[in-house]
Structure 1
Amino acid sequence: MQPVQPAWTQPLPPAHKPGAIPLRPLGLGDMLDGAFRLVRFNPGATVGASVLVAAVAMAIPLGVTAAMTFTGDSLDFLGTSLEDPAYTPGTSELVGMVTAFGSYVVGAVLQGFGMILVSGMISHVAHAAALGRKLTLGQAWSATHGKRWRLVGLATLFAVFGVLSWIVAAVPVVVLAIVVDSPIPAIVVGLAMIPVLVAAWIFASTRLYLLSVPSLMLEQNGVFGAIRRAWNLSRGQFWRLLGIALLTTIIVGFASQIVAFPISLVGSVVAVVAPEYYVLATLGSSAIAQVIAAAITTPFTGAVTNLQYLDQRIRKESYEVELMEQAGLLSR
């Protein structure tokens, strides 16, 4: 009797490959290679879109801080305090600091909003790339028409879920702190809640949110329909989806830090050498680093996520047949 080979030594079956990925169940290598191919094949609608959004958003704090730096002394507080720790800021300086860092928060919020829309564009770019087709930036944007607010609503829904989770977890801690004289029970319960919240967030992100964005963009689903679809597609695949998502996060995080570190270092040096430009150098270097990180993080992470979506449909629904029909490899 022939010995049965372990499943992991079996090679994946040959498949048609009209675009960035082979049209068969995808392995980890297929997804990472496909993500690189997708971004390289269509940089305008992936990297270009991410950089454009981040640059416009970060231009707000950069412009506000530069204008305040070169037109007055309202941002001299931090630089002056480096030379004189006993220095006390005036009202105008405090207002200036709040304005400068507030503009950075506004820019970050706008960037986050824009990246939600970019993630929807990447869903269409990834689907087209799997078929060997290339979308321009304008075509990718047009493809999201009619679903942009649904995409924002989906992201907002999960953000609200996260906030409510923390509030619910904080209630027993606050109650214990008020009712019990000793702070120890409140501290113990609070520490116990942290891993529970982290686990709940990971579970919800993997089972409910990860695949809901491509489902919303590529199928005829509403917000809750996309969530149900993500739940069904991720059934029995939690650890696989989570592992690939975590690995992708580590890869893009490491790459973006390597690229952004020199910029942050230059900003720190300028802040020390020229204290009068401390705020401008700090916020400016951070804004530029954000743009560079966006050029790496959003396109690659979005590409892998959408390839995971295609992989699950191929595994569970034989979606490769429909993809081959769309690519013109099979006749209907």
Structure 2
Amino acid sequence: MTGPDAPDALRATGLGFRYRARGGWTLRDCEFTVPRGRITALVGRNGAGKSTLLHLAGGLLRPETGELQVLGTTPGTPQARARVALLTQEKPLYPRFTVADTLLLGRKLNSSWQQAPAEQIVREGDIPLHARVGELSPGQRSRVALALALGKRPELLLLDEPMADLDPLARGEIMATLMSEAAEHGTDIVLSSHVLPEMEQTCDWVLLMRDGRIELSEDADELRESHTVLTGHADQDGALAGQGVVHSRTSGRQMTALVRRHGPLRGDWHVERPRLEDILIGYLQADAPARPAPAERTEAA
């Protein structure tokens, strides 16, 4: 179901989770919404809770507190499993199976299975269908795992660092495949990755995590429009009072600041529009959360 009345791709309310053996909370008080029709960048430092969030959305884990909904349903239920595909970092495959056996398994387990796109992803990587999975390179196994996920024709595709094992050329090919999937079939995609530049042209929604909480959940274009990179003399930092200073650095007498604007700027600044990568790095570098004013927040956590 798509359109203005369709349920959100993801919606969390008071979401929390902890691995009891580790102590402490991996996720705490997460509140966010990801609307339908988006390619979402899930960004955060190592240990921020990205994989845990995707595992919860995929139904592999259950929340300790709060609620998480995927496509208006509860993760892990038959309704959700039929509509959601999760590709984890581990990419669990049967090493003794051939690639053809693996795709056959996908067909038998999924009523919505489409063989052609699954085989296309495999063939684009020059992977023989008769090859055994355990004899493939890590990058080739990543392609086979992605073929399984896309062959299912999911409405929501959750990808946890899916291309870490791929060379730059293969990464570009896979990203093009994902973009095509989203455009042609309306597939919602949530992509966790540390390669921020590849998010710039592909992702139109941002989920940024810090220390187990959601710091940003917003439209990528709106983030670009509302943020500014300012460069000027360091002694005018007081002119930034009232602005949302996300991160700043001083070198000699010059200061550079990433700012979320709240009203007109004061002072003598060189103003640049930041890339999405600049904004994400700024929030990840920030010593403390720099949250936008309530009036300017739309889908922020």
What interval of TM-score do these two structures reach, taking the shorter chain for normalisation? under 0.3
Bigger relative CO (Cα 8 Å, ≥ 6 apart) = 1
Answer 1 or 2: which has greater helix percent.
1
TM-score norm. by structure 1 comes to: 0.26
Larger radius of gyration: 1
TM-score norm. by structure 2 comes to: 0.28
Answer 1 or 2: which has greater strand percent.
2
